[in-house]
Amino acid sequence: MAILLLARPVRAQERRAFEVVGAYTFLGSSAIVDGYGLGWVAGVGWHLADWLAIVGEIGASRQTQQMGFLELDAGFRGAFVGPRVSWSVGTRRVRPSAHVLGGALQLDLRLRSAFPAGAFGRDDETYSALQFGGALDAPLNDRLALRLALDRRRVFGPEGFNQSRFQTGVVYRLGGP
């Protein structure tokens, strides 16, 4: 009987999969600067189950706007963590997912004037933020997938604002089955 119990797989000893993500981002609707800004995201995820992961990400984006003789440059740097749920669709195992992340966003504003004399102003603040959205992972092989993601972020400051973010990137999965 003891041999049968020892031969049975032990779930606590199963290796869980980790993932590493790198992506380009397009940030819009910042309510501070018009247009879209480019940026990057680096993230990790630890799969607690096939459908549930704890994810963390850091990233930065920058938007610039010309306003006559003034140039406004807004930098956004954030760190977020939270749960992500995912499920498989179809025979190629395309995986849609949804996430809710909480964290902090650092807003770095720079205002420059070139006329009549050069002038410069800067403000740097950090605010809490909540980010929710989803992604679609299309596998290339057992470890590598392409990711398309869309997020909506709420930044809680004196004058709270929303941001939309689109990502395109690569996911590399380590460990697990």
Q: Is 67 a domain residue?
A: no
Weakest mean pLDDT among 5-19, 49-63, 161-175: 5-19
Q: Is 161 a domain residue?
A: yes
Q: What is the DSSP letter of 16?
A: P
Antiparallel, parallel or unpaired: β 37-47 and 70-86: unpaired
Map residue 13 onto helix, strand or coil: helix
**What is the predicted pLDDT for the residue at 5?**
41
Cβ neighbours around 76 below 10 Å, total: 25
Is 0.85 topped by the overall pTM?
A: no
Query: Tens digits of per-residue pLDDT, 32-74?
Result: 788 788 999 999 999 999 899 999 999 999 988 887 778 888 8
Q: What is the CATH number of the domain that holds 25?
A: 2.40.160.20
User: 116 with 87: CB under 8 angstroms?
Assistant: no
Q: Is 69 a domain residue?
A: no
User: Is residue 7 pLDDT above 60, yes or no?
Assistant: no
166 lies in which domain range?
17-60+79-101+130-174
